[in-house]
């Protein structure tokens, strides 16, 4: 069977991930309830007149996709697939606010038009004049994984040879207020967070955009090979180990073959139990966590995929991400495990090329 490769990776996140030296300058964030992405100077990438009409998630995605395409040396991909949990929620909130304030009269349609989840993929396609397959997945924390699975199948079926795949989510004022009211976000008295040993519920909320170019050909810029992706909506805690064992068996692997496991510890004591159960299976692997660097959000796994790509390429794990002291001479197979609040579990297996 043909392989599918990740030929470029770009990320805008709470860390300065557009900077070439970001790998050495990762700063944990455990004392704020909400952490914001470090945004680039958009004027360098988007005409100011267009930028004013774009929400944050569209601007972040536009820049991250430009970085990804440039690194892969591609002007126009065959397809664009984007995963998002919340979509363009800034414009959704603005539209609903206008509805209330104007008693449903004299509404400008702009915010409504730009509030749909597929605005991001549409805007990128317009900018590139790309008329190929264009799709948006809205599957909470497995949105990126569904996007990558779609891209992988299209490449294996020879329907496309290069596909731009991305994930993006932004914060909005009202949604953050609601998340604080329903205790999705950690209470201030429970800060700072010990991500690995938290005794309280709730998370630190982040945001960001991550984009990758997937292709059937290995290139000079290739980071990794996508071996397999598995997604399940509901999983009981006592089924976690079987979920992993079945996935490894399907790929003719055992836990000894996995050099590093990236786990999405979020500081939410109730749902982090899944990660603790999973980590018991991989005592001889390097265990890694990342949400103390990115915050939790629907497509936080984009940040972990971006980091996994760089770990495979550099053959080095940043100390700030390590849970245990296991250091492998060679990092060949990395397994990524993520979920959001105990739902929508995903496994992604990446292999060094």
Same-domain pairing of 192 and 239: no
DSSP 211-267: EEEEESS--TT--EEEEEEEEES---GGGHHHHHHHHHHHTT--GGG--EEEE---S
- Domain total in the chain: 2
Same-domain pairing of 147 and 41: yes
The answer as to whether 296 is a domain residue is: yes
Find the domain containing 201 and state its range.
5-215
Domain boundary among 215, 241, 261: 215
Tell me, yes or no, if the pTM score tops 0.75: yes
Domain boundary among 215, 239, 268: 215
| pLDDT by position in tens, the chain (length 353) | 578 999 999 999 999 999 999 999 999 999 999 999 999 999 999 999 888 888 999 999 999 999 999 999 999 999 999 999 998 888 888 888 888 888 888 887 777 777 888 999 999 999 999 999 999 999 999 999 999 999 999 999 999 999 999 999 999 999 999 999 999 999 999 999 999 999 999 999 999 999 999 999 999 999 999 999 999 999 999 999 999 999 999 999 999 999 999 999 999 999 999 999 999 999 999 999 999 999 999 999 999 999 999 999 999 999 999 999 999 999 999 999 999 999 999 999 999 99
The answer as to whether 282 is a domain residue is: yes
The answer as to whether 220 is a domain residue is: no
Same-domain pairing of 27 and 157: yes
Same-domain pairing of 210 and 68: yes
Helix (H) / strand (E) containing 79: strand 79-83
Same-domain pairing of 154 and 237: no
Same-domain pairing of 266 and 324: yes
Where does the chain have alpha helices with state H? 48-51, 56-72, 89-101, 110-113, 119-128, 143-156, 173-181, 240-250, 273-279, 291-294, 301-314
Same-domain pairing of 105 and 143: yes
Same-domain pairing of 186 and 284: no
Same-domain pairing of 264 and 313: yes
- Residue 246 CB coordination number (10 Å): 12
Same-domain pairing of 145 and 202: yes
Q: Which residues contact 56 (CB under 8 A, 6 or more apart)?
A: 39, 90, 170, 171, 207
Domain boundary among 215, 234, 261: 215
The answer as to whether 346 is a domain residue is: yes
User: What CATH number should be reported for the domain holding residue 160?
Assistant: 3.40.47.10
The answer as to whether 44 is a domain residue is: yes
Same-domain pairing of 101 and 205: yes
């Amino acid at each position: 069977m043909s392989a599918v490769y990740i030929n470029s990776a770009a990320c805008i996140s709470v860390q300065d991930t557009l900077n070439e030296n970001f790998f050495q300058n990762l700063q944990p964030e455990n004392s704020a309830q909400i952490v914001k992405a470090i945004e680039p100077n958009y004027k360098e990438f988007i005409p100011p007149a267009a930028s004013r009409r774009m929400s944050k998630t569209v601007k972040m995605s536009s820049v991250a996709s430009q970085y990804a395409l440039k690194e892969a040396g591609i002007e126009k991909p065959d397809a664009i697939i984007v995963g998002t949990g919340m979509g363009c929620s800034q414009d959704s909130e603005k539209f609903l606010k206008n509805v209330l304030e104007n008693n449903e009269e004299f509404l400008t349609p702009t915010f409504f038009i730009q509030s749909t989840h597929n605005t991001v993929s549409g805007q990128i396609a317009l900018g590139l004049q790309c008329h190929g397959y264009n799709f948006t997945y809205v599957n909470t924390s497995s949105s990126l994984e569904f996007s990558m699975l779609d891209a992988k199948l299209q490449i294996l079926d020879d329907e496309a040879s290069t596909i731009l795949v991305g994930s993006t989510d932004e914060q909005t004022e009202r949604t953050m207020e609601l998340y604080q009211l329903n205790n999705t976000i950690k209470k201030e008295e429970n800060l700072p967070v010990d991500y690995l040993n938290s005794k309280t519920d709730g998370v630190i909320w982040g945001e960001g955009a991550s984009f990758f170019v997937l292709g059937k050909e290995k290139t000079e810029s290739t980071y990794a090979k996508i071996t397999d992706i598995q997604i399940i909506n509901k999983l009981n805690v006592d089924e976690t180990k079987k979920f992993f064992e079945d996935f490894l068996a399907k790929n003719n692997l055992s836990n000894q073959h996995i050099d590093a496991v990236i786990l999405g510890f979020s500081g939410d004591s109730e749902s982090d139990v899944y990660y603790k159960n999973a980590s018991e299976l991989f005592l001889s692997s390097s265990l890694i966590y990342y949400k103390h660097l990115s915050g939790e959000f629907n497509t936080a796994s984009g940040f972990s995929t971006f980091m996994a790509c760089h770990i495979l390429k550099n053959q080095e794990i940043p100390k700030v991400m390590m849970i245990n002291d296991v250091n492998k001479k060679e990092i060949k197979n990395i397994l990524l495990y993520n979920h959001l609040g105990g739902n929508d579990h995903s496994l992604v297996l990446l292999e060094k090329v």
